[in-house]
Amino acid sequence: MDFLQWNEKYALGIQEIDSQHQSLFLLINRLYRQMIRVSDPIEDNEILDELIKYTKVHFSFEENFFDKISFAESDKKLHKMEHLNFCAKIEEFQEKMLSGEEGLTTSMMIFLKDWLKNHILKTDMTYKIELDKISAPE
């Protein structure tokens, strides 16, 4: 069983973003599987590095998407700040791993899982609501 399971409650109805979110779920699951078996610091870092890079690609795509919809500037700023804070946190995890200070931990995995689930269900749903308003027939 996966550590983080995708289901329709996470779907925003925006194919590209839903697909990217599913990819993030897969990367977190790969990292989790790496943690529960005898982990190799080099492989651990490769997966975490892939997660960091893909997360930045996804966030960039999502932030560009905001410009295509009527997403309030204040909401856009808060959303981007969440993205920046998340990137900083996972880069901090990576620095600790590279320095040998810390390996993959349960607390790291719980942070990744909880952050992604909450971000999609709460923060990302705000722009889905805006998009639904725009596309709703009058």
Residue 14 is assigned to a structural domain of this protein:
no
pLDDT tens by residue, 2-43? 899 999 999 999 999 999 999 999 999 999 999 998 778 889
| Structure-token match 């804070």, residue found | 85
Residue 19 in any domain: the answer is: no
**Neighbouring residues of 50: CB distance < 8 A, sequence distance ≥ 6:** 27
Residue 114 lies in a domain: yes
How far CA 54 is from CA of 24, 36, 120, in Å, comes to 8, 22, 16
Q: What is the count of structural domains for the chain?
A: 1
CATH of the domain at 119: 1.20.120.50
Residue 125 has pLDDT above 60, yes or no: yes
Q: Which amino acid is at 104?
A: L
**Residue 105 structure tokens:** 């931990």
The answer to whether the CB of 17 falls within 8 A of the CB of 65 is yes
In tens, the pLDDT along 52-102 reads: 999 999 999 999 988 888 778 888 899 999 999 999 999 999 999 999 898
Q: Which amino acid is at 43?
A: E
- The structure's pTM equals 0.91
Domain-located, residue 100: yes
DSSP state of 118: H
Residue 79 lies in domain: 28-135
Would you say residue 88 lies in a domain? yes
Question: Residue 32: inside a domain, yes or no?
Answer: yes
Task: Kindly state the percentage of the chain with pLDDT values over 70.
Answer: 95
